[in-house]
């Protein structure tokens, strides 16, 4: 074998799997790709991986800008190796993203299908979280060829052990908890850290463990304000003059004398997918702690900081593995599936299964119980709660 033959084989241009798969499905000429929902680190790594592998397979890639909105506004961009060169380490997405839902727009689904035909697309790779992939499943059911890629910092998609974006968000949250610890100790304060995660507590549990939090509050375990303040006062009595409370934005809090735990919302108007707009629980809990204990309490809402910046090495690698798998699944003629991580292998799972919510499991909560000083709420959940 010559050096040229060897180099071409490594790059997938001669022999091996690429030639086999190219012969297997010569009819595929063009696919679209979109990034929908909230952004997260690693999106550009997926786009780059899809484009790189697609060119090796002889498939053209059309970028749909602004998520599903790109179909409605005819906003597209041809994607090539040259266009995606140098974006691996960049946060955000070169395609942009929105939460537009075509099924809430008059004639929206039909307009998407018309674009599919007009743009000569043989399939679509939808990169997103629960909302985006739910729409992908709907279009699959309407007859379009769609493959999903799981993207969300919340890590709440069933079917995959981890989503890309989660590791970066966790690293950011842990770093900020470490920084807050020093100022909390210096001023003898309670620091309440509100992290993202929507209705699951994966970021809160992992960041709480990594950052050495004293209390971790998650949606999977509704809790009372009294339980939180009890931990703060116990630590103060033991000479520990500060406390770190990590709380997920979707955690359920039961007020004093209330019958049920409740969400704290930043806006009563739901988003485009009918989901509540969460936010504000950190400030609420910090205020209640200070009123109940007299100890100065402050809140830090990490918010969109968790979505931004350079992806970690783990997220870059995982995103590229997902991207390669997605285009290979589509090239093999599959639809209605999502690339997923299971036992360190990238496999295909049904989209219908993938979009189910993945809550923090009891074994993770039990590990958090070992290190946090709060009570084991799994044994004594607040009245009116379902946890």
Q: Known catalytic residues?
A: 154
203 within 8 A of 152, measured Cβ to Cβ: no
CA distance 76 to 115: 11
Tokens at 209, concatenated: 């463990």
H-only helix segments in 42-129: 43-56, 69-73, 81-84, 108-118
Only one residue has tokens 């689904």, namely 109
| Cα torsion 25, 30, 31, 33: sign | positive
314 burial type by CB count under 10 A (0-12 exposed, 13-18 middle, 19+ buried): middle
Q: CA dist 117 to 20, 110, 121, Å?
A: 28, 11, 6
The Cβ of residue 22 has, within 10 Å, a number of other Cβ atoms equal to 16
Interacting residues of 366 by C-beta distance below 8 A, sequence separation 6+: 378
Rounded to 5 degrees, φ, ψ at 186 are -65, -40
Tokens at 172, concatenated: 């950011």
Pairing of strands 60-64, 76-79: antiparallel
CA distance 195 to 330: 35
320 within 8 A of 45, measured Cβ to Cβ: yes
- Crossing angle of helices 166-187/313-331, nearest 10°? 160
């Amino acid at each position: 074998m010559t050096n040229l033959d060897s180099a071409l084989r490594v790059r997938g241009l001669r022999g091996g799997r690429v030639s086999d798969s190219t012969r297997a499905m010569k009819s595929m000429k063009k696919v679209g790709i979109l990034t929908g929902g909230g952004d997260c680190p690693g999106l550009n790594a997926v786009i780059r991986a899809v484009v790189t592998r697609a060119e090796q397979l002889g498939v053209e890639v059309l970028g749909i800008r602004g998520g599903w909105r790109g179909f409605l506004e005819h906003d597209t961009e041809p994607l090539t190796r040259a266009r995606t060169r140098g974006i691996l380490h960049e946060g955000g997405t070169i395609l942009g993203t929105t939460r537009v839902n075509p099924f809430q727009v008059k004639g929206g689904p039909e307009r998407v299908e018309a674009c599919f035909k007009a743009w000569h697309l043989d399939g679509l790779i939808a990169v997103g979280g629960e909302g985006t992939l739910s729409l992908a499943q709907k279009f699959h059911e309407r007859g379009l060829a769609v493959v999903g890629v799981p993207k969300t910092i919340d890590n709440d998609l069933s079917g995959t052990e981890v989503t890309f974006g989660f590791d970066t968000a966790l690293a950011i949250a842990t770093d900020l908890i470490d920084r807050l610890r020093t100022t909390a100790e210096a001023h003898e304060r309670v620091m309440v850290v509100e992290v993202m995660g929507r209705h699951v507590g994966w970021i809160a549990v992992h960041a709480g463990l990594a950052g050495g939090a004293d209390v971790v509050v998650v949606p999977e375990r509704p809790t009372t304000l009294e339980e939180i303040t009890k931990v703060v006062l116990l630590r103060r009595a033991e000479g520990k003059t500060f406390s770190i409370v990590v709380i997920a934005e979707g955690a359920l809090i039961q007020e004093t004398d209330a019958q049920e735990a409740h969400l704290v919302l930043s806006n009563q108007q739901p988003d485009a997918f009918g989901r509540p707009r969460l936010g504000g629980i950190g400030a609420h809990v910090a205020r209640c702690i200070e009123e109940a204990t007299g100890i100065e309490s402050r809140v830090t809402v990490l918010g969109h900081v968790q979505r931004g910046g350079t992806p970690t090495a783990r997220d870059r690698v995982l995103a590229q593995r997902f991207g390669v798998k997605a285009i290979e699944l589509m090239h093999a003629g599959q639809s209605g599936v999502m690339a997923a991580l299971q036992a360190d292998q990238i496999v295909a799972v049904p989209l219908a299964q993938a979009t189910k919510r993945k809550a923090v499991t009891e074994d993770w909560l039990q590990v958090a119980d070992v290190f946090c000083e709060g009570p084991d709420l799994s044994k004594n959940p607040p009245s009116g709660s379902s946890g």
